[in-house]
Amino acid sequence: MSQKNRLILIHGLHQFPFIMRPMAKHLQIAGFKTHTFGYRSMRDDIKTNSARLNSWLETNHNPSEPIDLVGHSLGGLIIRDFVAHYPQWRVGRCVTLGTPHNGSISGDYIWRLAPIIVGKSYEQALDGTVAPLPEGIELGVIAGNKAQGLGQPILSYHNHKRRKADGSITNDCLAHDGTVYVAETKLVSATDHIVMPVTHTGMLMNKEVIKQAMYFLANGEFRR
């Protein structure tokens, strides 16, 4: 089995490291040495959390050895901030899962109605103002289009408003994973983008999603 880069797995908003463990187990079987990075998604802002990741690496990782990064939802935005502000690390490839790279409509609604629910994860992250992806970073983006989840009522309401304003809008433009629109996951500077029939949280346990993530980490593109 060929030697693989150390792989850091980063969870999303309102989650904890254990939610990434099923994915970590599959990746470990494939030969990855994984670490599930935990952070306070509401109490601390994105810059504090990416600084904490940098501190963990300074204590636990040899900077001469490359790392790969996989982040779910908000975790993908932490990856964006981390690679932008800590260029001293040798980053191999990154994969984001259901990450709203262009900002989150559901996050916007919640921020206006009950900001305590998203806490400090909104500004410079879910608001779409996270740092640009630096040149040379290979990023694979996986989005889901199975519309089930806690954010579905908000996005259904928003879709109704969009259809009322523009009757010609297509279903593709309204596709989401129950929390994040497919369109919100698209990033011009990303290396590759793929849409899969999974929900926002369900993608973490989906074997095909895990296979696609591993394929990108190995090849720099998704399998088609």
Given a contact cutoff of 8 angstroms between Cβ atoms, the answer to whether 46 and 77 are in contact is yes
pLDDT of residue 2: 60
Given a contact cutoff of 8 angstroms between Cβ atoms, the answer to whether 212 and 196 are in contact is yes
pLDDT of residue 163: 81
Residue 52 has pLDDT above 60, yes or no: yes
Tell whether 163 is covered by a domain. Answer: yes
Given a contact cutoff of 8 angstroms between Cβ atoms, the answer to whether 100 and 73 are in contact is yes
The H or E element that residue 69 is part of is: strand 67-72
Tell whether 224 is covered by a domain. Answer: no
pLDDT of residue 65: 94
136 dihedral zone (left: phi>0; alpha: psi -120 to 50; beta): left
CATH number at residue 81: 3.40.50.1820
Task: Quick: pLDDT tens for 74-125.
Answer: 999 999 999 999 999 999 999 999 999 999 999 999 899 899 999 999 999 9
pLDDT of residue 1: 45
DSSP letter for 102, please.
T
Task: Quick: pLDDT tens for 162-190.
Answer: 888 877 787 778 999 999 999 999 999 99
Domain extent for 137? 6-219
Distance CA 71, CA 77 (A): 8
Encoded tokens for 181: 């629109």
Mean pLDDT over each residue of the chain, to the nearest integer: 94
Given a contact cutoff of 8 angstroms between Cβ atoms, the answer to whether 200 and 142 are in contact is no
Given a contact cutoff of 8 angstroms between Cβ atoms, the answer to whether 9 and 94 are in contact is no
* Section 139-165 average pLDDT: 88
Tell whether 105 is covered by a domain. Answer: yes
Encoded tokens for 126: 């879910």
Q: How many domains does the chain have?
A: 1
* Residues constituting the chain: 224
Encoded tokens for 128: 């779409």
Tell whether 168 is covered by a domain. Answer: yes
Tell whether 165 is covered by a domain. Answer: yes
Tell whether 1 is covered by a domain. Answer: no
* Section 67-71 average pLDDT: 98
